[in-house]
């Protein structure tokens, strides 16, 4: 069944720290959701509205994830609101796992989720808290030195952090300095981010406590970014000269985002663990016309 011929497609709406998603269950991989259909669904005026879309599909039923099917039953097919594809979404994977449990497709507790960045181990808390912890894998810090991000006539040094998807993390004096983040900040030198980049602006709030704003590649300014919060925590630790692989001790940062709070722990073995909320707020049926344009 292609998206253009489906008759009324069930959806849900959810968010994690107000990074919001259209959730489209497609367990058997029957949908062909192209970029234009995704962008229409995510449109906040003419569609349902969301920073991104989570298609919920069995790994075995999707050619992109079939090789991971023996490790993770479900594949998070994440798309940005402009219809582009991203490797990973941290808030999305919490909402995805929360949806699976709510729908009776998984049990609370440990759960493996396949993503384009590999399999992520998730723990969905039992009960009504909506809290989800995710092993986000290792952060890569590929450099180079001397990266800058620019908004208008201002620029700041930034660190390149890869959480499966690319980030540029800049520490600023005041989050308002970044101005309007709907337009993508520029980065230099050219060529560091050939696939585009998510840009985080960060201020200190206290010991191991920071706050951030983000411009997300493919979505604009959002009220939270889970991979971004992980990148920020790792950049904040290195800025303080802390590397858990060297100290042998985990380091934990509280990261405030406009839509709430995430807690990020980096472990001596390099694993970055994110804990935060996930909520489903609505469900309904998509009119076929929205899918076909």
Ligand X SMILES: N[C@@H](CCC[C@H](N)C(=O)O)C(=O)O
Enumerate residues 6+ apart whose C-beta is below 8 A from 83.
34, 35, 36, 37, 38, 39, 42, 218
The response to whether 217 counts as a known ligand-binding position is yes
Provide the minimum distance between the beta carbon of 6 and ligand X in the complex, in angstroms, as a whole number: 25
Residue 18, SS3? coil
13-30: string of b/e by CB count within 10 Å (b at 16+)? bbbbbbbbbbbbbbeebe
Chain residues that interact with ligand X, rule: CB under 6 A:
19, 52, 80, 86, 89-92, 165, 198, 216-219, 222, 225-228
Residue 58 or 217: which CB sits closer to ligand X?
Answer: 217
Provide the minimum distance between the beta carbon of 218 and ligand X in the complex, in angstroms, as a whole number: 5
For residues 53 and 41, give the distance between their C-alpha atoms in angstroms, rounded to a whole number: 8
Reference 97, options 84, 106, 86; nearest CA is: 106
Alpha helices in the chain, H assignment, sequence order:
35-42, 90-102, 226-239, 244-247, 288-292
For residues 186 and 157, give the distance between their C-alpha atoms in angstroms, rounded to a whole number: 12
Tell me which residues are annotated as active site.
Answer: 89, 225
Check: CB of residue 236 under 8 Å from CB of residue 97.
Answer: no
The response to whether 162 counts as a known ligand-binding position is no
Enumerate residues 6+ apart whose C-beta is below 8 A from 248.
268
Enumerate residues 6+ apart whose C-beta is below 8 A from 250.
244, 265, 266, 267, 268
Q: Which two tokens stand for residue 171?
A: 């520490």
Residue 60 or 280: which CB sits closer to ligand X?
Answer: 280
Provide the minimum distance between the beta carbon of 92 and ligand X in the complex, in angstroms, as a whole number: 6
The response to whether 165 counts as a known ligand-binding position is yes
Residue 106 or 163: which CB sits closer to ligand X?
Answer: 163
The response to whether 160 counts as a known ligand-binding position is no
The response to whether 180 counts as a known ligand-binding position is no
For residues 162 and 142, give the distance between their C-alpha atoms in angstroms, rounded to a whole number: 8
Provide the minimum distance between the beta carbon of 14 and ligand X in the complex, in angstroms, as a whole number: 12
Provide the minimum distance between the beta carbon of 118 and ligand X in the complex, in angstroms, as a whole number: 14
Residue 65 or 274: which CB sits closer to ligand X?
Answer: 274
Binding-site annotation: residue ranges for substrate: 19, 80, 90-91, 165, 198, 216-217, 226-227
């Amino acid at each position: 069944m292609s998206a253009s011929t489906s008759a009324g497609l069930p959806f849900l709406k959810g968010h994690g720290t107000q990074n919001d998603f259209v959730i489209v269950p497609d367990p058997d991989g029957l949908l062909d959701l192209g970029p234009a259909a995704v962008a229409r669904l995510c449109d906040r005026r003419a569609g349902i509205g969301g920073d991104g879309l989570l298609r919920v599909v069995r790994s075995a039923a999707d050619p992109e994830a079939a090789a991971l099917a023996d490790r993770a039953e479900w594949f998070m097919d994440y798309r940005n609101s402009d219809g582009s594809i991203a490797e990973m979404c941290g808030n999305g994977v919490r909402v995805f796992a929360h949806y699976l449990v709510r729908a009776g497709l998984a049990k609370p507790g440990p759960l493996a989720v396949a993503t384009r960045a590999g399999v992520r181990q998730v723990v969905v808390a039992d009960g009504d808290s909506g809290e989800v912890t995710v092993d986000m894998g290792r952060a890569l810090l590929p450099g180079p030195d001397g990266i800058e991000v620019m908004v208008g006539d201002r620029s700041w040094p930034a660190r390149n952090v890869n959480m499966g998807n690319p980030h540029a993390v800049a520490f600023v004096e005041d989050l308002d300095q970044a101005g309007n983040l709907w337009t993508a900040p520029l980065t230099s030198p050219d060529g560091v981010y050939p696939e585009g980049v998510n840009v985080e602006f960060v201020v200190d709030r206290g010991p191991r406590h920071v706050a951030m704003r983000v411009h997300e590649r493919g979505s604009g300014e959002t009220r939270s970014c889970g991979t971004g919060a992980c990148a920020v925590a790792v950049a904040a630790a290195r800025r303080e000269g802390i590397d858990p692989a060297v100290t042998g001790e985990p380091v934990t940062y509280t990261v405030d985002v406009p839509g709430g709070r995430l807690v990020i722990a980096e472990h001596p073995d390099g694993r970055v663990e994110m804990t935060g909320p996930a909520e489903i707020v609505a469900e309904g049926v998509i009119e076929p016309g929205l899918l076909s344009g």
